Amino acid sequence: MVLKIAIQKSGRLHDDSIQLLKDCGIDVKNGYNQLKSVADNFPMEVYFLRDDDIPQYVEDGVAHIGIVGENVLFEKKKSVDVVEQLGFGKCRLSIAVQKADHYNGVEFLQGKKLATSYPVLTQKFLNENGINAEIHEISGSVELAPSIGLADAICDLVSSGSTLFMNGLQEVQMVLKSEAVLIKAITLDTELQEIVNSLLFRIRAVRKAKNNKYVLLNAPNHSLDKIIGLLPGMKSPTVLPLAEEGWSSVHSVLNEDEFWEKIEALKNAGAQGILVVPIEKMIV
């Protein structure tokens, strides 16, 4: 049995998808000129597709799992399971208007024309807010629509905001926050499900490792209690005596979110020679 995974052929999600598989120890040959490829060391076949087609392939079971942006997934409204958030491809689907416009809330959009490649999500947002507006579906260069008089506003993906800025637009309303997710066909054979589980186990270990750092520091023994109190570790910190009398070496794991705060507190508590090392995999 081989697990068939659909990933984007080329575009913003391609490299991160391949890298994620690689970090999971799965080697896949680059797919720029091919439709599919077989992993050397994992029971997996990779299909390279347009991102828009991935939800359909997974719903039909032609691919068992896939990696796609939530924006595409929710726009296509296919019946698949979302298995895991993957933390890359982050962006937001937002409404933008011309810089000179005085946007005073969603009411501004009443009776206006909106250009978008996401008619389903845009319509849903308008309905939820009781707004009647006309939607023009266009497939690309949505940000040009207001300047050529095609629409009053747009609903498009934004990440840094520089595309909007360069086109004289301002982001005024977020419709959806999105990132890449792993999706799965609703029913799978037990054997395939087991392969999904083992892939998921690796993905979680890789992602957890990325969110944590290994910290080594020297501590005077009289400050050990205070320093250990600051460090959770996986169970509890490792403490080893240093060759120099009265000092210990402390090893622990710190979460990215609280990292700087903790480092500062450790320093204030008397820690010295603090080393921070990336973790490759983390299995807890």
Q: Which residues bind ligand PRT (CB under 6 A)?
A: 8, 11-13, 50-52, 69, 71-72, 89, 91, 156-163, 178
Residues forming beta bridges with residue 69, ordered by sequence position = 180
Please identify, using beta-carbon distances, which residue of 155 and 228 lies nearer to ligand PRT.
155
Residues forming beta bridges with residue 239, ordered by sequence position = 250
What are the φ/ψ torsions at residue 71 (nearest 5 degrees)?
-55, -45
**Residue 231 to residues 214, 224, 276, Cα–Cα distance (Å):** 11, 11, 13
At a CB cut-off of 8 Å and minimum separation 6, what does 100 contact?
none
Please identify, using beta-carbon distances, which residue of 51 and 152 lies nearer to Zn ion.
51
In whole angstroms, the minimum distance from the beta carbon of 226 to ligand PRT comes to 43
In whole angstroms, the minimum distance from the beta carbon of 80 to Zn ion comes to 17
Q: Name the region of 225 (left: φ>0; alpha: ψ -120 to 50; beta: rest).
A: alpha
Compute the distance between CA of residue 48 and CA of residue 5 in angstroms, rounded to an integer.
9
Task: Report the SS3 class of residue 67.
Answer: strand
User: Which window, 34-42, 43-51, 96-104, 133-141, contacts Zn ion (CB under 5 A)?
Assistant: 43-51
In the list Zn ion, ligand PRT, none, the entry touching 248 (Cβ below 5 to 8 angstroms by class) is: none
Give the residue nearest to ligand PRT (CB): 69
In the list Zn ion, ligand PRT, none, the entry touching 194 (Cβ below 5 to 8 angstroms by class) is: none
In whole angstroms, the minimum distance from the beta carbon of 70 to ligand PRT comes to 7
Among positions 52, 84, 179, 194, the unique one binding Zn ion when judged by CB under 5 A: 52
Compute the distance between CA of residue 195 and CA of residue 198 in angstroms, rounded to an integer.
5
Please identify, using beta-carbon distances, which residue of 142 and 231 lies nearer to ligand PRT.
142
Q: Which residues of 101-112 are buried (b: 16+ CB within 10 A; e: fewer)?
A: bebeebebbeee
User: Which window, 35-43, 46-54, 91-99, 209-217, contacts Zn ion (CB under 5 A)?
Assistant: 46-54
Q: Is the dihedral of CA 41, 47, 48, 51 positive or negative?
A: negative
In whole angstroms, the minimum distance from the beta carbon of 265 to Zn ion comes to 46
Please identify, using beta-carbon distances, which residue of 8 and 252 lies nearer to ligand PRT.
8
In whole angstroms, the minimum distance from the beta carbon of 174 to ligand PRT comes to 13
In whole angstroms, the minimum distance from the beta carbon of 52 to Zn ion comes to 4
Among positions 21, 51, 86, 231, the unique one binding Zn ion when judged by CB under 5 A: 51
Compute the distance between CA of residue 58 and CA of residue 66 in angstroms, rounded to an integer.
7
User: Which residues contact Zn ion by CB under 5 A?
Assistant: 51-52
